Amino acid sequence: MNNRFFSIWNVDNTPCSTGLQQNTASALACLFGIVFVFAEYQNRFVRYCAVQSLFAGAIWMLVFIALSVLSLTPLLGAVFLLARALFTLLMMVAVGVMAYLAYKGKKVVLPWVSKYAENWSAPDE
């Protein structure tokens, strides 16, 4: 493990059960994770992208709700609204970058999230 915040690994091309090419399916899985969690049962990389997308979306939702509640405080509410907007923009860019890298056949390993995504992305037997 290196000391960087995230790492990127190359992935071998394997067939998908959805009939799509792996690069297309993995990029779409980053954008529409819930669909590919249920639709893809063969390709581990596509399932990994889908599960990682779901976990990243759940983290975004929790932070968004927390910042929304904190934005109700007097005097500091505008700061939390700005933080919420910036965090949302950051997440949109991050998901777009993950989708682009998945299309290029690169696996993005994020701290905290990827460990669970790897465990939950095992193909159905």
Q: How many angstroms separate the first and last alpha carbons of the chain?
A: 30
> Is the pTM above the cut of 0.75?
yes
Instruction: Give the residue carrying structure tokens 């933080």.
Output: 83
**pLDDT value of residue 99:** 93
Mean pLDDT for back-to-back runs of 10 residues, the chain (125 residues): 60 79 90 87 87 90 93 88 94 92 87 78 64
**Structure tokens given for 92:** 């949109």
Q: Where are the domains of the chain?
A: 7-120
Inter-residue contact 52 to 27 (CB < 8 Å): no
**pLDDT value of residue 1:** 44
